Amino acid sequence: MKKKVFALASAIVIIAIMVITQQNTKGAAMGSGTADGFGGPGAITVNLTIKDGKITAATASGPKETPGIGSVAVEKMPAEMVARNSIIVDGVTGATISSTGILKAAEAALIAAGLNPEDFKGAGNAVVAEDKTYDADVAIIGAGGAGMIAAITAADAGKKVVLIEKQAMVGGNSVRASGGMNAAGTPEENSNTFTEEAGVEKTLKTAAEKWANHPVITALAEAVRKKWEAYKANPQGYFDCAELMQLDTLIGGHGINNPELVRTLAENTADAIAWLKTVNIDLTSVGAAGAASVKRIHRPLNEQKKVVSVGGYMVPRLEAACKSRSNITILMETTAKSIMTNEAGAVSGVIAESKGAKITVNAKAVVIASGGFGANLKMVARLKPELDGFMTTNAPGINGDGITMAQELGAAVVDMKQIQIHPTVQYDSSNLITEGLRGDGAILVNTEGKRFIDEVLARDVVSAAEIAQPNSFAYLIIDQKMVDESLLIQGYIAKGYSFKGDTYEALAKAINIPADAFTKTMNDWNGYVKARKDPEFGRTSFIEPLDKAPFYAIKVTPGIHHTMGGLKIDGRTRVLKGNGEAIPGLFAAGEVTGGVHGGNRLGGTAVSDFVVFGRIAGQEAAKF
């Protein structure tokens, strides 16, 4: 009898739940759904509330999505779903995986709420954009690192600034920077326990043997030698100087760099590191990067003193600094189309477009900080056919439009065929693996289990050696010590980029290379580190042996990374015509310019470039 009563009561409860669910479907219904994101399986969750057939609330979470990229999609897209009453909304360019995950999670949320997703896949409520006009002292095209720093600098000079960004997020290529910022002569460099004497001597030898006919390199080498001899006679702190950074940059750039720009860059890096602290950016850890004589790449640490991505660290802080200044207006999803000029030929503002509406920004000075053209694969292939078919690490909006707009005003360009490929791009995803891993002690091996190059040479040299290997790829080898010290590496592992082995033999098996050869390579390398001498390839940068299990390998191949060519500027960032005359009121900074890096950019110098020249552009535009 008791069993029958219990069964009847249970049935009544079930019926009641069904009735409540049906009522919620007609009135208010709530559902939660998950989907895969860039952060991995089930990384994205979307919660929806639907009442009377309308999406009244939507939230999303994706704590593992890339800050400043996927996180923007997580923040932006749910609000669009409410505004349009549709789960079919535009994804965020550059965050395709995160955007797709949000759409799939939203569909799953509707199903969980007992609703038909097809009922919420219409065009939704059309958003009608209106033409607008803004008046400013300075208009800036591009909200990457250079653009935001120029905006902050001009604003702090008391000017009214309008910052124009085509994407839904700020950051451009800057947010993708993972290594750090090269700077010479900073207090932070003294955190290094000793100066790598072999690195300085090697650079001076190279200058003497290969660049004796280059007057600028010869003069710099002599200046460095004098300072180096004085330092060795009385070592105080850590040895580095602006002249040595110039020397590294010119040699790394094959001597075709503009010496004026290289000098401006190097001489202002120490002050730039100090200035960054005023906007809550502290680059405290100093490590090694490719083709640098000494350790000078400055990197951020988190609260646990782990190295983190420099772009992901800097960009949100720069954005916060922009938003905290009332005299900076940021126009997102607004594409600059042309630069206006007056009858005298001076710039007078920018014409842009946003969701079909015309946006006019009247301004007395314009700064172009729109980035290079590394994502414009047709343009890359046209300028350098041998790169046709290469993958790219660039953000989607980096397509050279700023260069084109300036050329319409008569601007000259320089070094347009100088396009850099980066040697460590993850083979299956085209995501950049930071050069900092090699600087911190990682090595490269080929499919034969052998090293084939000094891993911290210039990027073009390492890339060429990698392309020459069987199938044009290699494995980047790291150990658990490196993993423990770097959130970047931990992120690569979490994203599934790595292979793992508890021994050298096990890792060799995991990546299908000869175990005997690989084990010998690792044992030899560990011996070189302890002796601080590499008899095979002459590497002079050593950290610690790769001897703490487990061991990891990341499959890498070269990919298009940076365009060294662009608009011709002078040391004041003024955009120049072919005859050397400056276009009145037009300035440029960052990857949109040419001449700084010559034929090859050193790792860590892109950040130096956009900080130093971004500040100068902001100062000069404010003065104009």
Work out the number of other CB atoms within 10 angstroms of the CB of residue 146: 36
* CA–CA dist 16, 619 (Å, integer): 70
Distance CA 187, CA 572 (A): 26
* Topology given in CATH for the domain delimited by 138-418+564-623: FAD/NAD(P)-binding domain (3.50.50)
Burial 521-559 (b: 16+ CB within 10 A, else e): bbeebeebbeeeebeeeebbbbbebbbeeebbbbbbbbb
In 3D, which of 544, 537, 551 has the Cα closest to residue 476? 551
Q: What's the CA gap between 222 and 552, in Å, rounded?
A: 43
**Known active-site residue 299:** no
- Pick from 328, 294, 373, 383: which is nearest to 147 by CA? 328
First to last CA, the chain: 94
Residue intervals in the chain for CATH 3.50.50.60: 138-418+564-623
Q: Which of 84, 176, 459, 601 is catalytic?
A: 459
How far apart are the C-alpha atoms of 348 and 360, rounded to whole Å? 10
Amino acid 122 reads G
Q: What are phi and psi of 492, to 5 degrees?
A: -60, -40
Domain with CATH 3.90.700.10 in the chain: 421-559
Instruction: List, by residue range, all CATH 3.90.1010 domains of the chain.
Output: 26-120
In 52-159, DSSP assigns E strands to: 54-61, 132-135, 138-141
What residues form DSSP beta bridges with 392? Answer: 560
Please, what is the Cα angle at 113 between 108 and 118, to 5 degrees? 60
Which of the residues in the chain have pLDDT under 70?
A: 1-27, 124-127
CATH of domain 421-559: 3.90.700.10
60: Cβ–Cβ under 8 A, 6 or more apart, which residues?
A: 44, 45, 46, 47, 74, 75, 77, 78, 102, 105
The pair of structure tokens assigned to 228 is 């180096």
Give the H/E segment covering residue 560: strand 551-563
Residue 501's identity, in one-letter code, is G
CB 354 within 8 A of CB 331: yes
How many whole angstroms from its chain centre is CA 257? Answer: 23
Fold of 26-120: Sufe protein. Chain: A (3.90.1010)
The per-residue pLDDT for 124 is 66
Round to whole Å and give the CA distance between 618 and 327. 14
Give the H/E segment covering residue 569. none
Q: What does the buried/exposed string (b/e) look like for 414-441 if buried means 16 or more CB atoms within 10 Å of the residue's CB?
A: bbbebbbbbbbbbbeeebbbbbbbbbbb
pLDDT given at position 127? 62
User: Which secondary-structure segment (H or E) carries 173?
Assistant: none
